């Protein structure tokens, strides 16, 4: 009888300890993922991108790129997982630029869907640090940004910086989504992301659902030229709640 009671007590203690532990584990998990995020994560789908044809293959040997450049991969990029129902918001946006010679007709080609590597598909902005800005019209939740500067040859763009803000002058609530300006030569802060080769896949940036109405894309020439080129920019998001 006593033996049986002792066994039952031990079993009870173990069961209580186990349930305490699993409760703790659930509590720890809940700290990093809220219930709504968990529901969102379960519904994620691969972001579908329409890529242009590649214009070159392999890493060129004659480009001096330095140590901060991601090596070119010969495999297709793994898809980014995003919430369902996102749209490319770029075609409906209002475009402006630090280069006042870039008229709205010229800038419109950044969002016209033409991502070819041919010269006719590329627009040029003057040299130095220049930006293109998109006004999305209202606050949006932005999950992915894809930039094609120019993929007519393997080149590396300098000081690629993507920022979002609540106002057109980039004073209110400015947040940096991407920055690979390691020496801060563009003066927006030291970037910790790596430089990369321009390819037909474009540069896919995870914007993690950041909420903003305005986006700026900075660059400061490339390994090929001091000029700044743009072929296409896509911004995937949905209206902010
Ligand atoms: Ca275009
Ligand atoms: Ca730099």
CA of 232 to the centre of ligand 1 (A): 4
CA of 94 to the centre of ligand 1 (A): 15
Lowest-confidence range among 19-33, 34-48, 181-195?
A: 19-33
DSSP letter string over the chain?
A: -HHHHHHHHHHHHHHHHHHHHHHHHHHHHHHHS-HHHHHHHHT-EEPP--PPPPS--S--SS----TTBPPPPSSPPPPPEE-TT-EE-GGGSEEEES-TTS-HHHHGGGGSS---SSGGG-EEE-SSSEEEEEEEEEEEEEEEEEEES--SS--BBSS-EEEEESSTTS-SS-EEEEE--TT-TTSS----SPB-B--TT-EEEEEEEEEEEEEEEEE--BSS-SSEEESEEEEEEEE--
Token match 């991601």: residue? 70
CA of 161 to the centre of ligand 2 (A): 10
pLDDT digits (tens, 9 = 90+) for 116-159: 999 999 999 999 999 999 999 999 999 999 999 999 998 999 99
Q: Count Cα atoms within 13 angstroms, Cβ side, for 86.
A: 29
List, as ranges, residues with CB under 5 A of the ion ligand 2: 159, 181, 183, 185
pLDDT digits (tens, 9 = 90+) for 166-185: 999 999 999 999 999 999 99
Angstrom distance (rounded) from CA 56 to CA 95: 30
pLDDT at position 104 over 90: yes
CA of 182 to the centre of ligand 2 (A): 6
CA of 143 to the centre of ligand 1 (A): 21
Domain residues of the chain, as ranges?
2-32, 48-239
Mean pLDDT of 227-231: 98
Please tell me the number of the ligand nearest to residue 107's CA. 1
Please tell me the number of the ligand nearest to residue 147's CA. 1
CA of 156 to the centre of ligand 1 (A): 19
pLDDT digits (tens, 9 = 90+) for 183-226: 999 999 999 999 999 999 999 999 999 999 999 999 999 999 99
Say yes or no: domain 48-239 is CATH 2.60.120.260: yes
Q: What is the pTM of this model?
A: 0.83
Lowest-confidence range among 29-38, 80-89, 155-164, 194-203?
A: 29-38
CA of 149 to the centre of ligand 1 (A): 10
């Amino acid at each position: 009888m006593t033996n049986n009671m002792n066994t039952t007590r031990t079993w009870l203690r173990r069961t209580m300890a186990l349930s305490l532990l699993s409760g703790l584990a659930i509590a720890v998990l809940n700290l990093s993922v809220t219930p709504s995020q968990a529901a969102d994560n379960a519904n994620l789908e691969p972001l579908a991108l329409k890529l242009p044809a590649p214009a070159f293959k392999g890493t060129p040997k004659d480009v001096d790129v330095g140590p901060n450049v991601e090596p070119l991969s010969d495999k297709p990029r793994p898809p980014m997982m995003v919430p369902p129902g996102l749209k490319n918001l770029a075609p409906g946006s209002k475009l402006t630029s630090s280069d006042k010679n870039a008229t709205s007709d010229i800038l419109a080609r950044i969002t016209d869907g033409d991502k070819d590597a041919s010269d006719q598909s590329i627009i040029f902005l003057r040299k130095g640090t220049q930006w293109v800005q998109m006004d999305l019209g209202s606050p949006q939740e932005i999950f992915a940004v894809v930039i094609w500067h120019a993929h007519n040859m393997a080149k590396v763009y300098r000081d690629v910086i993507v920022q979002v803000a609540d106002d057109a002058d980039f004073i209110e609530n400015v947040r940096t989504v991407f920055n690979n300006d390691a020496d801060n030569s563009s003066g927006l802060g030291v970037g910790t992301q790596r430089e990369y080769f321009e390819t037909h896949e474009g540069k896919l940036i995870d914007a993690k659902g950041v909420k903003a109405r305005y986006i700026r894309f900075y660059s400061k020439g490339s390994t090929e030229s001091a000029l700044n080129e743009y072929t296409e920019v896509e911004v995937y998001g949905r209206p902010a709640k």
